[in-house]
Amino acid sequence: MSERLSVFKTYKLYVGGKFPRSESGRVYEVTGSKDENWLANAPLSSRKDARDAVVAARKAFGGWSGATAYNRGQVLYRVAEMLEGRRSQFTREVADAEGLSKAKAAALVDLTVDRWVWYAGWTDKIAQIAGGANPVAGPFFNLSTPEPTGVVAVLAPQESSLLGLVSVLAPVIATGNTAVVVASERSPLPALSLGEVLATSDVPGGVVNVLSGRTAEIAPTLASHMDVNAVDLTGADPALATELEIAAADNLKRVLRPRTGEDFAATPGTERLTAFLETKTVWHTTGSLGASGSSY
């Protein structure tokens, strides 16, 4: 029997629930972190790809933000199930991307699945942390509730190709936002494979859009885009982060600045869950008791 040839995987962008190539037709070589061996060609996204991803994210925002928090939790938990089913694939991709042993890469994949479960459990609880009844002087109820910001551009960490990516992405969508993700420039393959997981889970198309390519080329388009409401600069170097902050000021985007030496393996708090939320406050008169005894 003749030896069979391996079938090389063609990685594509994930935009609007579909898998397009870059409209520019460009690709770039992705190599292993440890041995520099060629792994695959990844799409080299253009500014047009970034704009298309924003359109898809905006289109998906109404339905996703309008879903119940409990339903979003169920959807995120399904993503964790799908990740668990592809454990061996992601272990291989993370090992190649980050130059790790299979055992260490498998441990990071396990942490990634656990991180999805963590955020799935927070979806219907964050309102109790970020909202509440406010004490006021007068016969009024004053209630504050959190609402999603909108479309969030997420620059994924450059070094942590999967766990770091999920750590910055999951809280964005758990709270009802939609996302345009710029994958790690050097190690984009786990992020592009995550798009395949999202496509076969219950996450509606457009809620998450994944771009690969040069961060410094794609990010300015997102930071200056008037239909992007917030930007997470985690994957930007200091000089690029400053440039993007300035661009983001044009339409008063929320900005989450990069943090030096962030440990994505540590148990996350609620900071990222609350980073891209707006607060809606409602006043209502307490009224008085009528003859029937009901309040109005």
Average confidence score pLDDT of the chain: 92
Question: Does the pLDDT of residue 224 top 70, yes or no?
Answer: yes
> Model pTM?
0.91
Tokens of 75: 């959807």
Q: How does strand 208-211 pair with strand 178-182?
A: parallel
Q: Radius of gyration of the chain from Cα atoms?
A: 21
Q: Quick check: is 30 in a domain?
A: no
pLDDT over threshold 50, residue 33 = yes
Flag the least confident range among 158-162, 206-210, 289-293.
289-293
Mean pLDDT to the nearest integer, 7-32: 94
- Flag whether 18 is in a domain: no
Q: Is residue 191 part of a domain?
A: yes
DSSP state of 258: -
Asked whether residue 262 is assigned to any structural domain, the reply reads: yes
14 belongs to a structural domain: no
Domain assignment present for 105: yes
pLDDT for residue 283 is more than 70: yes
Domain limits for position 56: 38-285
Domains contained in the chain, number: 1
- Domain assignment of residue 171, yes or no: yes
* Residue 160 falls inside a structural domain: yes
Which one-letter amino acid corresponds to residue 43? P
Average pLDDT estimate for 196-203: 95
- Has residue 293 got a pLDDT over 60? no
What CATH number is given to the structural domain containing 178?
Answer: 3.40.605.10
| CA atoms of 6 and 156, how far apart (whole Å) | 30
Q: How far apart are CA 111 and CA 119, in angstroms?
A: 12
**Per-residue pLDDT at 295:** 37
Spatial distance between the Cα atoms of 172 and 166, rounded to a whole number of angstroms: 10
